[in-house]
Amino acid sequence: MNRDRKQQKKNAEWKKESLKYCSRIRTAARTYLVLTPRRASAVVVALSSNGRSGERKVKAAMESTLKEKRDGASVLDMDPKSTVGGGVEDTYGEDSATEDQLVTPWTYSVASGYTLLRDPRHNKGLAFTEKERDAHYLRGLLPPTFVSQELQERKLMKNLRQYEVPLQRYVAMMDLMERNERLFYKLLIDNVEELLPVVYTPTVGEACQKYGSIFRRPQGLYISLKEKGKILEVLKNWPEKSIQVIVVTDGERILGLGDLGCQGMGIPVGKLALYTALGGIRPSSCLPITIDVGTNNEQLLNDEFYIGLRQKRATGQEYDELLHEFMYAVKQQYGEKVIVQFEDFANHNAFELLAKYGTTHLVFNDDIQGTASVVLAGLVAALKLVGGTLPDHTFLFLGAGEAGTGIAELIALEMSKQSKAPLEETRKKIWLVDSKGLIVSSRKESLQYFKKPWAHEHEPAKTLLEAVKAIKPTVLIGSSGVGKTFTKEVVEAMTSINEKPVILALSNPTSQSECTAEEAYTWSKGRAIFASGSPFDPVEYDGKVIVPGQSNNAYIFPGLGLGLIISGAIRVHDDMLLAASEALAAQVTQENFDRGLLYPPFSNIRKISARIAAGVAAKAYELGVATRLPRPENLLKLAESCMYSPSYRNYR
Ligand SMILES: O=C([O-])CC(=O)C(=O)O
Ligand SMILES: [Mg+2]
């Protein structure tokens, strides 16, 4: 008892001390972890620092305080390069503190000993060294053996491979994330091609469908209609104060699976895991959010395990007000340089939110813009295989929603840049089919506004097959969210028109893919240049193994995000998406082409992301929306050096 009180007093003194330093050095937030000899009494203090020099001052101040007060206390990760979390902000941390943080730095307890083992951000399991076990009160809490991170990784991969059901692998990976974050990212980074389909598309789709049943511990933040008027308070409940990326969904259009309401949370969680693993953004600065305004999914409303609000979706003013409060609470809490990635909103809201907040916030819609950027990169690569320039080709889309119109617009923009023709002209090379058939001018009156630019003069066509025969496209793109719509007849029609038909089946997950890789290759007699949103295994056709590419926005958003962060960009511009697309296309090697691949393998993704980041950042400076000044000379080097490393830290 007595000891505890003493410890509390000591903590209070430290807090006072750090407050003093904070107000003296008025700068950006920096986290130091101080472990005291007693468990349950470590203190994390967010201090201010003004870039490197301010940071050094704070560090020196903290160290001298600790020397005086130490009494056996130890400091976790005092080296700025290896401060808790590591990553981007460690190198470029200026200006990330809010005024609120400067005046009242926050503190919370992270315990040594037993509690340290249960803290996923710092737990290393059997990889704690003898010295660490002594220093951090872990003696007896672990079996005697020491296991390196590499051996832990091998063991976990072996265990994962024994699960036959993909969802079991997903649950095992999420458990690992909750238990030992660095090990989770080490696994994901080192085995990215194998584990991407587990934590991301397609398995994450099934996970969302069954989220209520597999729910163990909450991940991310849930903001429901109940929190209206209190969203800023909700944001303050999140333990991390320095957030760089938010992925938010309202669950209305989860992949091609439709309205999954609150259970859409799997998507922001999965996307942000990729921000870290593929783009090197540190996990502590990533925040997954689900906005729950109800669901129109009857099955979920009647499911006893459903985790969301049991009501029909709020729409109109009620919806708009909640989203508006959210957007401004985010800006107030995290500043104007936090990236808000809209994910899997239904069409009407997706377009409106992007238009509404695109000029006031650093927002980006992955389904409209990220997908467009990755597809354009794939098309540039495809042209090397089929010949001609972009303006030489004719495009037909099945699906005229976010992805379809987003991709169409970026292609038209790029064509216009290449051919110097006005956008209105280049759009005419692009045709869209929706559920009512080919979009033509006679339908213009009844079309939603985002479809109108694509209503060209033509006879109506009721079905996709009719449209293929009438338009004679060289490229067919599926973005409908409806599986099995590229039928044998459609693929055969494409093959009869083109020597090498380009066919992209983009809808996710695998069940919603417009056709499988095998179908595309078989029906086109091995001639199709094919890629899909969800992964497919290599296909053997006519004695030849063909590896299908994966045209998924996961190639783009992690690098795009990194580029926005290292440049301190305050807006996303279409030219940045073109820059991201160009950078990705430039990574496709001759060897990839020789194998018919439109994208480089995901195993190189960190290098690819760094190049995308450098391209995006360069564009941000060119456009004058970068705020990190002066412009660093070598953006690629900066991007690479900023990336989060999942290797364990030494806790001295
Ligand atoms: O999540 C994915 O795999 C790609 C995507 O954004 C979507 O399909 O909505
Ligand atoms: Mg999406």
Length, in residues, of the chain = 652
Contacts of 496 (CB under 8 A, 6+ apart): none
Res 59 pLDDT > 70: no
Ligand 1 atom closest to residue 253's alpha carbon, by position in its atom list: 9
Determine the Cα–Cα distance for residues 473 and 501; give it in Å rounded to an integer.
9
> Ligand 1, atom 6: nearest CA belongs to which residue?
367
ipTM for the whole predicted complex goes beyond 0.90: yes
Confidence of residue 594 (pLDDT cuts 50, 70, 90): confident
The residue whose CB lies within 8 Å of the most ligand 1 atoms, and thus the one to mutate among 170, 199, 371, is 371
Q: Give the closest residue (by CA) to ligand 1 atom 8.
A: 255
The reported pLDDT for the residue numbered 92 is: 23
CA 254 – CA 272 distance, rounded (Å): 16
Annotated binding site: 253, 343-344, 367, 508, 552
Range in 43-57, 110-124, 167-181 the model is least confident about = 43-57
**Mean pLDDT, residues 154-176:** 98
Catalytic residues: 200, 271
pLDDT number for residue 549 = 94
Q: Is the CB of 508 under 6 A from ligand 1?
A: yes
Q: Enumerate the H helices of 191-260 as residue ranges.
A: 192-199, 203-209, 211-214, 231-237
> How much is the average pLDDT of 323-336?
97
582 pocket-lining for ligand 1 (C-beta < 6 Å): no
- Provide mean pLDDT across the span 502-517: 98
| Average pLDDT value for residue range 193-219 | 97
- The residues near 566 (Cβ < 8 Å, ≥ 6 apart) are 88, 92, 613, 617, 628, 632, 635, 638, 639, 642
- Alpha-carbon span 109 to 115, nearest angstrom: 10
What's the rounded Cα separation, in Å, for the pair 579 and 45? 39
CB of 42 within 8 A of CB of 56?
no
Atom of ligand 1 nearest to the CA of 366: 6
The mean pLDDT of 569-598, rounded to a whole number, is: 94
Any atom of ligand 1 within 6 Å of the Cβ of 365: no
- The upper half-sphere exposure of residue 247, i.e. CA atoms within 13 Å in the direction of its Cβ, equals 28
Band of residue 5 on the pLDDT scale cut at 50, 70, 90: confident
DSSP 94: T
Q: How does the average pLDDT of the chain come out, rounded? A: 87
Classify residue 497 by burial, with Cβ atoms within 10 Å: 0-12, 13-18, 19+: middle
Q: Is the CB of 369 under 6 A from ligand 1?
A: no
Q: Is 76 helix (H, G, I), strand (E, B) or coil?
A: strand
The encoded tokens of residue 428 equal: 């005419």
For ligand 1, say whether the CB of 553 is within 6 Å of any of its atoms: yes
| 395 pLDDT above the threshold of 90 | yes
Ligand with the closest atom to the CA of 374:
1
Closest residue by Cα to atom 2, ligand 1, is: 201
Question: Which segments are annotated as binding site for (S)-malate?
Answer: 253, 508, 552
What is the whole-number distance in angstroms between the Cα of residue 553 and the centre of ligand 1? Answer: 7
Please report the atom of ligand 1 found closest to the CA of residue 506.
8
The pLDDT of 31-45, averaged and rounded, is: 37
pLDDT of residue 652: 65
Residue 91: what pLDDT? 23
> How far does the centroid of ligand 1 lie from the alpha carbon of residue 635, in Å?
28
Q: Which of 97-106, 311-320, 420-429 has the lowest mean pLDDT?
A: 97-106
Which residues are paired to 476 by β-bridges?
Answer: 396, 503
Q: From ligand 1's centre to the CA of 308, what distance in Å?
A: 22
CB of 341 closer than 6 angstroms to any ligand 1 atom: no
- Residue whose entry in the numeric block shows the structure tokens 């660095």: 182
Q: Output the CA 92–ligand 1 centroid distance in Å.
A: 30
Kindly tell me the sign of the dihedral angle through the C-alpha atoms of 235, 79, 559, 166. Answer: negative
Query: Which of these, 386, 519, 484, lies nearest to 378 by C-alpha position?
Result: 386
Protein residue closest via CA to atom 7 of ligand 1: 255
Q: What is the mean pLDDT of residues 507-519?
A: 98
Provide the token pair at 72.
Answer: 């056996």
Ligand 1 centroid to 340 CA: how many Å?
16
Q: Which amino acid is at 365?
A: N
pLDDT surpassing 90 at residue 79: no
Give the least confident one: 160-169, 428-437, 596-605, 643-652.
643-652
**What local confidence, expressed as pLDDT, does residue 10 receive?**
64
Integer Cα distance of 226 and 240 in angstroms: 23
Between 9 and 414, residue with greater pLDDT: 414
Cα(31)–Cα(383) distance, integer angstroms: 49
- Please give all residues whose CB falls under 5 A of ion ligand 2, grouped by chain where several chains appear: 343-344, 367
Residue ranges for the known binding site for a divalent metal cation are 343-344, 367
Query: Which amino acid makes up residue 651?
Result: Y
Helix axes 166-179, 181-190, angle to 10 degrees: 130
> What is the whole-number distance in angstroms between the Cα of residue 496 and the centre of ligand 2?
33
Of 43-57, 322-336, 599-613, the range with the lowest mean pLDDT is: 43-57
CA angle 29, 31, 33 (to 5 degrees): 160
Q: How many Å apart are CA 613 and CA 618, to the nearest integer?
A: 8
Judge whether 539 and 545 are in contact, CB under 8 Å.
yes
CA-CA distance, 305 to 323, in Å (whole number)? Answer: 26
